[in-house]
Amino acid sequence: MLARALTCAVVGLDGVIVECEVDISSGTSGLTIVGLPDAAISEARERVRAAIRNSGCSFPLRRITVNLAPADLRKEGPSYDLPIAIGILAGSEQVPPLPDKTIFLGELALDGSVRPTEGVLPMVAYARDFGVQTAFVPDANAAEAAIVRDVAVYPVGHLTDLVYHQRREKPIPQFHPIGLGDGVPAAGSVVDFAEIKGQEHAKRGIEVAAAGGHNILLTGPPGSGKTLLARAIPGVLPPLAFEESIELTKIYSVSGLLAAAQPLISQRPFRAPHHTISYSGLAGGGAWPRPGEITLSHRGVLFLDELPEFGSRSLEILRQPIEDKQITITRAQSTVTFPANFMLIGAMNPCPCVGKYHSVESSCPGTRHHRPAPGRQGPDWRRAAEGPPLPQPLAGARPAAPRLPCALWRDAGGGCPGGRCGRRLDGRAVGERRQRPRRYPAGTPD
């Protein structure tokens, strides 16, 4: 008996429909999976066998062959468990034949419960374009799947639920998204510009950079508020459009970073990786290419605090994505392109001994501290201060953040002396961005 269940694979940020064909014939009992499965799929044999038995059904003691088509596409991850299991149950006539235009996604636990899986949003979105009208997904991923309109989403908590649903004994209620609406909330951030005292020069630089989506380097002595200023930047960026939110949600879904409670990314990301980050952590990579920090900060802010501590190769890696707004990663298995349109914020002290000199104006007179001694490892401060190997826009934008006079620090009740509160700055930055299409001809890069 032959059964067919549709499912989806994710390649980069896109989906590919995968047909899970199950053939049950007489012969030595066993389950064989073909169609370029990875180790996680090969292990599905044991999970599926146990899950079917623990769901009150019987695992057919016959020769079972599962083919994941197209056979030339390498499949990874455990999300094929559910289609394989329901395909076996349909092939052994324990449930009626499976409907067309329906996909099944989910990893099975040995007891038959369905575990969440990564990349549900891009998979359901692609399936919708392919003509799929119904999706059975793990219940933890239902809110994420329901963002895709025109697809009926059914959350599956346990394989038994799906069996009863297919037998029409106890239908699973369709999942209806709650409170997503058409729009998304305005961007917010932990730090409000109104909380930052003084620093008018730096704020103005940030305002201009935020309006135009330019990169920026903050320099100043320790404690002058560089990190604070950088953390306030997402709050003055324009709110995300709905399509941008979907694009970001796909990235976070594929990376497995989407919280069940927050199915749609509605705020511009702020990513601040530590300087010990690996190259593939920064740019993306792995045998199955995954987004790196530059893609996770797409449409938001990538903040490199203590910039000179980042190795020069890490900074070199950023060059091409900053110019192209995307990165193409080629591995033996596949080639994928991830978006990387981020605003790069660097922060650094003018020199390693500036703590002693307390301000930019009276920086260290000597240069011997600024370079690692011959044969020693360490950041090259003079190179970083003179100009890290970054594109021109960043090298040009360097507002210095001087240490504040004490009077301003104590001015707790007075609010922002320059009147640049978060809201006003927000409005201005948004306004400036919206004017760009009029100022610049179509096709001008961001």
**Interface positions with ligand ATP (CB under 6 A):** 196-199, 220, 222-228, 349, 404
- For 34, 102, 181, the CA distances from 167, given in Å and listed in that order, are 28, 16, 34
Is omega for the bond preceding 70 within 30 degrees of 0, making it cis? yes
Please, what is the minimum distance in Å from the beta carbon of residue 335 to ligand ATP? Answer: 39
- Select from ligand ATP, Mg ion, none the partner in contact with residue 67, using the beta carbon and a kind-dependent cut-off of 5 to 8 Å: none
> How far is it, in rounded angstroms, from Cα 131 to Cα 2?
23
- For 324, 344, 348, the CA distances from 222, given in Å and listed in that order, are 34, 20, 9
Q: 156 - beta bridge partners?
A: 138
- Select from ligand ATP, Mg ion, none the partner in contact with residue 245, using the beta carbon and a kind-dependent cut-off of 5 to 8 Å: none
Please, what is the minimum distance in Å from the beta carbon of residue 373 to ligand ATP? Answer: 23
Nearer to Mg ion, 67 or 227 (CB): 227
Please, what is the minimum distance in Å from the beta carbon of residue 398 to ligand ATP? Answer: 14
Each residue 41-70 as x (binds Mg ion by CB under 5 A) or -, in order, gives ------------------------------
Residue 210: helix, strand or coil by DSSP? helix
Mention every residue, 6+ apart, whose C-beta is less than 8 A from residue 305: 226, 227, 230, 272, 275, 347
Please, what is the minimum distance in Å from the beta carbon of residue 207 to Mg ion? Answer: 20
> How far is it, in rounded angstroms, from Cα 172 to Cα 99?
15
Nearer to ligand ATP, 53 or 358 (CB): 358
Nearer to ligand ATP, 265 or 360 (CB): 360
Nearer to ligand ATP, 35 or 198 (CB): 198
Closest alpha carbon to 48 in 83, 90, 75, 77: 83
Quickly count: other Cβ atoms within 10 Å of residue 257's Cβ. 13
Nearer to ligand ATP, 136 or 193 (CB): 193
Please, what is the minimum distance in Å from the beta carbon of residue 342 to ligand ATP? Answer: 20
Using CB under 5 A as the binding criterion, the count of chain residues that bind Mg ion stands at 1
Residue 434: helix, strand or coil by DSSP? helix
- Per rule CB under 5 A, is residue 320 in the interface with Mg ion? no
Nearer to ligand ATP, 124 or 218 (CB): 218
Quickly count: other Cβ atoms within 10 Å of residue 278's Cβ. 11
What is the phi/psi pair of residue 115, to 5°? -95, 155
Pairing verdict, β 343-348 and 216-219: parallel
- Select from Mg ion, ligand ATP, none the partner in contact with residue 197, using the beta carbon and a kind-dependent cut-off of 5 to 8 Å: ligand ATP
Mention every residue, 6+ apart, whose C-beta is less than 8 A from residue 259: none
> How far is it, in rounded angstroms, from Cα 306 to Cα 380?
12
Please, what is the minimum distance in Å from the beta carbon of residue 271 to ligand ATP? Answer: 17
CA atoms 441, 13, 310, 317: torsion sign: negative
- Select from ligand ATP, Mg ion, none the partner in contact with residue 180, using the beta carbon and a kind-dependent cut-off of 5 to 8 Å: none
Nearer to Mg ion, 47 or 231 (CB): 231
Mention every residue, 6+ apart, whose C-beta is less than 8 A from residue 373: none
Please, what is the minimum distance in Å from the beta carbon of residue 217 to ligand ATP? Answer: 13
Decide: 343 and 236 in contact? Cβ < 8 Å: no
Nearer to Mg ion, 227 or 326 (CB): 227
Please, what is the minimum distance in Å from the beta carbon of residue 209 to ligand ATP? Answer: 17
Please, what is the minimum distance in Å from the beta carbon of residue 234 to ligand ATP? Answer: 15
- Select from Mg ion, ligand ATP, none the partner in contact with residue 54, using the beta carbon and a kind-dependent cut-off of 5 to 8 Å: none
> How far is it, in rounded angstroms, from Cα 294 to Cα 303?
10
Residues in the chain: 446
C-beta nearest to Mg ion: residue: 227
Within 221-250, the residues that bind Mg ion by CB under 5 A are 227
- Select from Mg ion, ligand ATP, none the partner in contact with residue 224, using the beta carbon and a kind-dependent cut-off of 5 to 8 Å: ligand ATP
Segment lying near Mg ion (by CB under 5 A), choices 40-48, 63-71, 219-227, 430-438: 219-227
Nearer to ligand ATP, 83 or 346 (CB): 346
Q: Report the interface residues with Mg ion, using CB under 5 A.
A: 227
